C-alpha cells in the first residue's frame, strides 16, 4: 500500500498569496471571553444521575421556591442531572443579545436527551455574572440498554447544545476606543508579513501611520472618535498584503500515521534505502519414544524453526541537491514504505543533516 502524504502548501510555487489583513490578524483587546456555570437539567426520561451534589443542588433550588424537604428524605431523582454550562461571549456583546451554550453532564447521567436547562447564571473569570442560560437541549447522541445488560451508544448523549440559550446581562469593558493607536497581532508571527503590512498601510495612509513592534505586533495610529475609528479600521482590515512564506515544516502524527509536508521542504544530496525484513518463528513438537524394552519415558520435545526473509526487493534512492517535495513523495511511494517506515526515513534524514525542514512529532 502506498503511503498517503498530505501536501499542504500555504503559497503557490513562485507566487505569493495575497490575504486580507482581517483574515490574518486580531486587534489587541478585542477578543471573546469564556463563561461557565453550574446548574440542573430536568425532565429527563429516567436517564438522570444520583450524585450527592445533584441532590444537594436540587434541595437548594426548591428552597428558593419556598419548598423544604424533610431531613433525611431522599428525593430519588432520576429525571434530573447536574451539568456545567459553557459559552463564549463575543467581543462587543451587549445586554439583551443571545449566545449559544453547551451543556455537559457532571455526574453519571446516561443521557440529556429531552431535558431542559433550568435558569443558570454564567460567570466570567472575574466572578461576575455576564449572562443567564435556560432552554431545551438539542442532543445529537442517543443510547439504549437491554434487560440483559447489553447497550448501544451513538455519539455522546451526555452533551447537548442550546442555540441562543443564554441572554447577555453585562457588557465586557473594552479599550477599543482608548488611546491614539491600535495594535494588530498576527496569527502567525512572521517578520516578512509584519513588514509587508506596515508598508501597505503606510503607502495608503501616509508614512509613520504603522510601525512594526516585533514579528507579531503592528501598531497603527487611529482617530479617537469611535465612529471614525470604525470606518478607519474597515479600510485597514480589507487591505490585501503578500504574506511571507512559512518555514519549511514536516508534521508527523505518530498515533494516526498522518504526515503533512510543507511546500518548501528541501533536502541535500542523500541516499536512502528501504528493505522489508520478515522474521518468522514457528514451534513444532516432536514425540520421542524409547524402544519397547528400553527403560525410559515418552517425552515431547519442542523444535523451533526460524526463517528470515528480506523481501528481495530492497532499493536505494539517491537524491540530488535541491530535491523538491514531489520527488521525495514519488520515491517513497515507489519503495512502498508504510507510514511508520516513512517516519523513520524522515527522522534519519534529519539526523544526517540532509532534511532542510523542521520535523515536528505530535
The residues spanned by each domain of the chain are: 17-30+175-242, 33-168, 250-361
Average pLDDT of the residues in 92-104 = 94
Task: Output the pLDDT for position 14.
Answer: 42
User: Which grid cell is 69?
Assistant: 424537604
More confident residue, 73 or 94: 94
DSSP string, 82-94: EEEEEEEE-TT--
Where is average pLDDT lowest: 11-15, 132-136, 190-194? 11-15
Task: Output the pLDDT for position 250.
Answer: 81
Instruction: Round to whole Å and give the CA distance between 233 and 237.
Output: 6
Instruction: Round to whole Å and give the CA distance between 189 and 218.
Output: 11
pTM as predicted: 0.65
Q: How many CB atoms lie within 10 A of CB 267?
A: 24
Instruction: Round to whole Å and give the CA distance between 24 and 11.
Output: 14
Burial 336-353 (b: 16+ CB within 10 A, else e): ebebebbbebbeebbeee
User: Which grid cell is 158?
Assistant: 451526555
More confident residue, 92 or 319: 92
Average pLDDT of the residues in 102-120 = 90
Percent of the chain with pLDDT over 90: 36
| CATH node for 17-30+175-242 | 3.30.1360
Instruction: Round to whole Å and give the CA distance between 228 and 190.
Output: 30
User: Which grid cell is 31?
Assistant: 477578543
Task: Output the pLDDT for position 41.
Answer: 93
Task: Output the pLDDT for position 90.
Answer: 93
For residue 160, give Cα distances in angstroms to 104, 122, 135, 166, 260.
Answer: 7, 17, 11, 14, 33
Comparing CA positions, the residue from 120, 124, 125 lying closest to residue 167 is 120
Q: What mean pLDDT is reported for the chain?
A: 78
Task: Output the pLDDT for position 285.
Answer: 59
Question: Any idea what DSSP says for residue 96?
Answer: T
pLDDT tens digits for range 167-218: 999 999 888 888 889 999 999 888 999 999 999 999 999 999 999 999 999 9
User: Per this entry, what is the length of the chain?
Assistant: 362
pLDDT tens digits for range 232-286: 999 999 999 988 777 778 888 777 777 777 777 777 776 666 555 444 445 565 6
Instruction: Round to whole Å and give the CA distance between 329 and 319.
Output: 12
User: Which grid cell is 153?
Assistant: 451508544
Tell me which range, 55-64, 223-232, 248-257, 286-295, is most confidently predicted by mean pLDDT: 223-232
pLDDT tens digits for range 299-358: 666 655 545 454 555 555 556 665 665 666 666 666 566 667 677 777 777 777 777 777
Instruction: Round to whole Å and give the CA distance between 16 and 20.
Output: 13
Task: Output the pLDDT for position 146.
Answer: 46
Task: Output the pLDDT for position 342.
Answer: 72
pLDDT at 8 over 50: no
Instruction: Round to whole Å and give the CA distance between 254 and 339.
Output: 9
| Residue 252 dihedral angles phi and psi, to the nearest 5° | -120, 125
Amino acid at each position: 500500500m502506498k503511503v498517503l502524504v498530505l501536501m499542504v502548501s500555504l503559497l503557490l510555487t513562485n507566487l505569493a498569496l495575497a490575504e486580507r489583513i482581517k483574515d490574518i490578524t486580531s486587534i489587541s483587546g478585542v477578543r471573546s471571553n469564556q463563561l461557565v456555570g453550574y446548574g440542573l437539567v430536568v425532565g429527563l426520561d429516567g436517564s438522570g444521575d444520583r450524585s450527592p451534589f445533584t441532590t444537594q443542588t436540587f434541595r437548594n433550588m426548591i428552597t428558593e421556591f419556598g419548598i423544604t424537604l424533610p431531613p433525611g428524605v431522599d428525593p430519588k431523582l432520576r429525571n434530573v442531572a447536574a451539568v456545567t454550562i459553557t459559552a463564549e461571549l463575543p467581543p462587543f456583546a451587549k445586554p439583551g443579545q443571545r449566545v449559544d451554550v453547551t451543556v455537559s453532564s457532571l455526574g453519571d447521567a446516561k443521557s440529556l436527551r429531552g431535558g431542559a436547562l433550568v435558569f443558570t447564571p454564567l460567570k466570567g473569570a472575574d466572578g461576575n455574572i455576564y449572562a443567564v442560560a435556560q432552554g431545551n437541549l438539542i442532543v445529537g447522541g442517543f443510547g439504549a440498554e437491554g434487560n440483559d445488560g447489553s447497550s448501544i451508544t451513538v455519539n455522546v448523549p451526555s452533551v447537548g447544545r442550546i442555540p441562543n440559550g443564554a441572554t447577555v446581562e453585562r457588557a465586557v469593558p473594552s479599550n477599543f476606543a482608548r488611546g491614539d493607536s491600535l495594535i494588530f497581532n498576527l496569527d502567525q508571527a512572521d517578520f516578512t508579513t509584519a513588514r509587508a503590512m506596515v508598508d501597505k498601510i503606510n503607502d495608503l495612509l501616509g508614512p509613520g501611520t504603522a510601525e512594526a513592534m516585533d514579528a507579531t505586533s503592528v501598531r497603527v495610529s487611529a482617530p479617537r472618535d469611535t465612529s471614525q475609528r470604525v470606518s478607519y479600521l474597515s479600510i485597514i482590515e480589507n487591505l490585501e498584503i503578500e504574506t511571507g512564506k512559512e518555514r519549511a515544516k514536516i508534521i508527523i502524527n505518530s498515533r494516526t500515521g498522518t504526515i503533512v509536508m510543507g511546500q518548501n521542504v528541501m533536502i541535500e544530496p542523500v541516499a536512502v534505502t528501504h528493505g522489508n525484513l520478515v522474521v518468522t518463528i514457528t514451534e513444532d513438537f516432536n514425540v520421542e519414544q524409547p524402544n519397547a524394552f528400553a527403560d525410559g519415558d515418552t517425552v515431547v520435545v519442542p523444535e523451533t524453526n526460524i526463517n528470515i526473509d528480506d523481501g528481495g526487493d530492497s532499493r536505494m534512492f539517491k537524491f540530488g541537491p535541491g530535491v523538491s517535495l514531489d520527488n521525495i513523495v514519488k520515491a517513497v511511494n515507489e519503495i512502498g514504505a508504510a507510514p511508520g517506515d516513512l517516519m523513520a526515513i524522515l527522522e534519519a534524514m534529519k539526523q544526517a543533516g540532509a532534511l532542510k525542514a523542521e520535523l515536528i512529532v505530535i
